[in-house]
Amino acid sequence: MGDRERNKKRLLELLRAAGTGNARCADCGAADPDWASYKLGVFICLHCSGVHRNFPDISRVKSVRLDFWEDGLVEFMTHNGNLRAKAKYEARVPAFYYIPQASDCLVLKEQWIRAKYERQEFMADGKNISLTGNREGFLWKRGRDNAQFLRRRFVLSAREGLLKYYTKEQGKSPKAAIHLKDLNATFQTEKIGHPHGLQITYRREGHTRNLFVYQESGKEIVDWFNSLRAARLQYLKAAFPELPESELVPLITRNYLKQGFMEKTGPKQREAFKKRWFALDAQERRLLYYKNPLDAFDLGQVFLGSREQGYEVSEGLPRDVQGNRWKAGLTIVTPERRFLFACPSEKEQGEWLESFRDVLSRPLTSFHLLTASTESGPSSR
Ligand SMILES: [Zn+2]
């Protein structure tokens, strides 16, 4: 066996070696990474390797399977690896800081990788991360009634527990003052149509208000996101002093479990099916629906309790009912009524079914019992 084949075999064994953490991408956790940074000593996935290429002074990448590895580099990888690198580069990640997963958008992964290795913000002897729950700056915000993005000044104050934004640059009174209690921020790059698109939601008069914003700078928008998370964690700690930080951190951000178009009928179930955009918030156990994906307000919400409380979901529609354009039906039964949906394809139907089952099988947490109402929300329009 030549050097080439022998070294490749050693690396492939190293990827599977127990206690190394090499079986998952060091940066996003994706399974079976087959790229590596031979300057940092980490195994990473193809997507993350693309980010590493942007700072060659700090990281150099090779494919485990396709590139030639010299003996010295294989030695280096053997003595480093993902768990050791994690101990070094992630020694002090603040509790609020969002660590991206494989399914997250590129800007989140990119900024995490840069913060970790390029700026070395989380090393034990590194500089302190400067993010706090206070921040001020400009974001491009989508107009409520038209699709135009306008530059708006945003001010986040963890002490006041508020995020405010202003329509006039020197304006004294904010257009909105959003309480951190109700605030959620989640990257929605596809829906917004911008690689840095962030959706900020809050509750207003029983509905969910959506703001869609972005910033040209990837660092700036991810810093905003993590500052909002810092402020939210500060709020949650004050509001629920009896809960440990480890239980509060997962409550900071709510990512939608699933989104997409379905058709729904009204409460009598004889109304014509109408196409709506749906977003499933698993943590709040709410299915929100909108006329269009970027609407400022939802049209209505369906609360999804647990199976024990009598909530059920099943495939198909009642015998005498059918969707307008779409046939793949779903029925949700709540203690109050039945909700009928039609999905654009069997694939979508399967994904929605799995997502609803996931939510209904989750027990209501102590946090939920403390905060959420069990109303069905405003009735459909
Ligand atoms: Zn990765």
pLDDT value for 45: 98
Long-range pairs for 89-93: beta carbons < 8 A, 24 or more residues apart:
89/40, 89/116, 89/117, 89/120, 89/122, 89/123, 90/116, 90/122, 91/122, 91/123, 91/124, 92/122, 92/123, 92/124, 92/126, 92/129, 93/122
| Fold matches, 3-94 and 258-371 | no
Tell me: the pLDDT tens digits for 94-137? 999 999 999 999 999 999 999 999 999 999 986 666 789 999 99
**Which pairing describes strands 300-303 and 328-333: parallel, antiparallel, or unpaired?**
unpaired
CATH 3.30.365.10, applies to 258-371: no
Token reading at 80: 């480093």
Token reading at 234: 């500060």
Nearby residues of 296 by Cβ (< 8 Å), 6 or more positions away: 144, 145, 209, 210
CATH 3.40.50.2300, applies to 134-251: no
Tell me: the pLDDT tens digits for 64-82? 999 999 999 999 999 999 9
pLDDT value for 370: 59
CA 44 to ligand 1 centroid distance, Å: 5
Q: Is the pLDDT of residue 377 over 50?
A: no
| CATH fold label, 3-94 | Annexin V; domain 1 (1.10.220)
Listed by start position, the domains of the chain span: 3-94, 134-251, 258-371
Cβ atoms within 10 A of the Cβ of 4, count?
A: 12
CA 83 to ligand 1 centroid distance, Å: 15
CA 272 to ligand 1 centroid distance, Å: 45
CA gap 171, 78 in Å, rounded: 58
CA 63 to ligand 1 centroid distance, Å: 13
For residues 321 and 162, the model is more confident at 162
- Please, how many CA atoms are within 13 Å of residue 102, restricted to the half-sphere of its CB? 11
CA 244 to ligand 1 centroid distance, Å: 30
CA 105 to ligand 1 centroid distance, Å: 11
CA 325 to ligand 1 centroid distance, Å: 39
CA 32 to ligand 1 centroid distance, Å: 10
Q: Is the pLDDT of residue 351 over 70?
A: yes
CA 69 to ligand 1 centroid distance, Å: 21
Calculate mean pLDDT across residues 322-337: 93
